[in-house]
Structure 1
Amino acid sequence: MSLMSWGMYPRIKSSAFRFDTNESLKEIISTHSELISYGNGRSYGDSALGTNILEVRPHNYFLDFDEESGLLHLQAGVLLSEILESFVPRGWFLTITPGTKLITVGGAIASDVHGKNHHVRGCFSECVKDFEIMLASGEIVTCSREKTPELFRATCGGQGLTGVILTARIRLTRIHSSYIDQTTIKSGNLEDTFKAFEEYRDFPYSVAWIDCLAKGADTGRGLLMAGDFRNDGKFSYEKKREHSVPFNFPAVVLNKWSIKVFNRLYYSKAKSGGASQVVDIDDFFYPLDALSHWNRIYGKRGFIQYHFVLPKEHGYQGIKEVLNIVAGKGKGSFLAVLKLCGMANDNYLSFPMEGYSLALDFRIEAGLFQMLDELDQIILKYKGRIYLAKDARVRKEVFEKGYPHVDTFRQYRKNNNMIDTFESSQSKRLEI
């Protein structure tokens, strides 16, 4: 079968395996190599692509819930959206959530995803009590920080390279409304954007959209959205009518001129200073999920999401240099997301560090990969790193300099006979 990521790049030939029981999974693992778990296909790059994929999505049952503590026991193929539909009306929300609800719990653990509250709550692994994982030997281990700390640190953020996550117990957070008080702050340049993040850092959730084609005095202008759940006791969470992009857009549709017009209109719609409004969960956390197949906007060649983080002391200068290059080459993105990140955790390959992360989407076209190589050098200069869950092209030497524990991860995989059994296109490219 032909398989591709959400970014539609790369496309590879792959064989898919389904398993009904743990015994059948053990049999697949014992008789095949180069296996990687595959959930809902929402990884942007090649972290879940490989020669042989294990389809985890069919394993999507809730197993138990403790109404007092908010501890939810479930299979790894459950989508975050399925958790929301079942538990938001009961007054519970995901402790950590990325910008899409259409990923599996197993994928959230393997990528150690983060969201708009990383500066106060950290990555997804912070809400994971434990999980069951089948190792290369076929053994099923209940993994936790306390009992199996090395396996926990290697698996959370380990991109599926330590085994197959079967079930997990995660902590949900009590909420008193399904609505959010959102404040939108319009910034005139990157300095103003950074000041706004610091001014509103006490809000539990914050994120900024950046006009990445703005130049000169306007470089880094954007809209910061900060929010918190209301306390009004109102709960409503229903599936909204989705709109869909029906086909791959022609390459001519998305260019620097159309992106520039979109960015200008999007920026100008916000009032100067700040504005407050009440929004629902989907509008605040998952705006892109309302448009299914939005990846088709970038055309049949696909797109690359370039997602990096820089230490706080270098965040402003480094991001300004990145934006200057992007604007100068006219390869802008209408989706440019800036976040404030809190402290790094001790997982071997987790992405965030204390500082600022920026995600940029670029249509694949002539000159793109050369520009991204140029951006890589800025990231290295300021001691940052690239997000593996989004990556499809970074070079091994660039990746290694951003992840100080990569050799520990490699050695752990070697010592536990995980190499060869669990491999992805990304792990081969980066030799991890």
Structure 2
Amino acid sequence: MSLWVDKHRPKKLSKMDYHAELSDHLTRLVSSGDFPHLLIHGPSGAGKKTRVMALLRELYGHGVDRLRIEHQGFETPSKKKIEILTIASNYHIEVNASDVGIYDRIVIQELIKTMASSQQLNSEGDPRNHPEKQNNPPMGIALKIGLELPVNASDVGIYDRIVIQELIKTMASSQQLNSEGQRDFKVVVLTEVDRLTKDAQHALRRTMEKYMATCRILLVTNSTSKVIPAIRSRCLNIRIPAPSVNEVMRVLQTVAKKEGCNLPSELAQKISEKSQRNLRRAILLTEACKVQQYPFKNDQDVMDLDWEVFLKDTAQQIVQEQSPKRLQEVRGRLYELLTHCIPPDVIFIGLHKELVKNCDGELRTEVTHLASQYEHRLTQGNKSIYHLEAFVAKFMSIYMKFVEETMGDF
């Protein structure tokens, strides 16, 4: 039994429920027979990955759905061995190279080189049906076929540079056979590009130019602010905005109808606003509401996520007491959120949102300015807990002073 968000995911660009003009633009881009490297950016839950997969189906057909998980190993110049998970078909490979940290450059270069040099076959010449035709992985790259799951190259932390280099080099060095209905290139999908090191991004720029003839790169990110200008200028930038509240409501009611449920408009609007126009979260919340109570009611409560409740409680603890002991307790709670894979920027935004509720106009401005400073430092550093804790400590300091001044006026 699959989740609604996966079960009802559109497979074609023509079946997208919103941003029809963008879908038409991508369709024309594919039908032109060739396209440049793409930088696809937009907020979480806007449909970036869904459109990327639909774009690949337009290019290669349903062969891109025959996915496999590969464990690819790389060796750094210091002889350190690193491993990263990738999702691949005969036509494309997907990786998040930031998982290997400072070695992301090596991963990017080797991956694209290998991909561009491998031989692509049509279904009749599928190497899985002809073992004698299968290519052996190049030296230094070990492949282990496992479960079919999505991957993130940032799984290998500071070694993401090596992973990206090796994977792109592997993809780009493969020769694709040009038969009827086939493309002359393969595709490398790099996710969370904004988390790559500057070293890896510069290496990616050079690799993109070198293997342009046999490899196209689709870069996916939430924001382009941390992507270097050299990469942005070499890609066709495609922004996918978040759907409007009305568009999210329409999608939710369509999904509910397919599931044989009657979703009231009032509840659909409440879910849309609760999800902050994140369609993936909205569909998950709708399914959770059905499990919680069905038939639906107009005044039905939309549950908060566990980590959101935990973050609200953390903010309340910060406001209730400002002391070194409480700061240590809050640090532990922030660590717990990070270990449960809640992104640090999401924690920062949620924490600021809850804290300013307890501030007046002048203090609210000061806290917001303070949050912007520490959030910027967060994006520049590698240890997010340092910046989160520093923000909390500074807030405690100015909030305690604010309370003392307020009490002194009485």
| Bin of the TM-score, shorter chain as denominator length | under 0.3
TM-score, structure 2 normalization:
0.24
The answer to which structure, 1 or 2, has the higher relative contact order (CA under 8 A, 6+ apart) is 1
Structure number with the higher strand fraction is: 1
Q: Which of the two has higher C-alpha Rg?
A: 2
TM-score, structure 1 normalization:
0.23
Structure number with the higher helix fraction is: 2
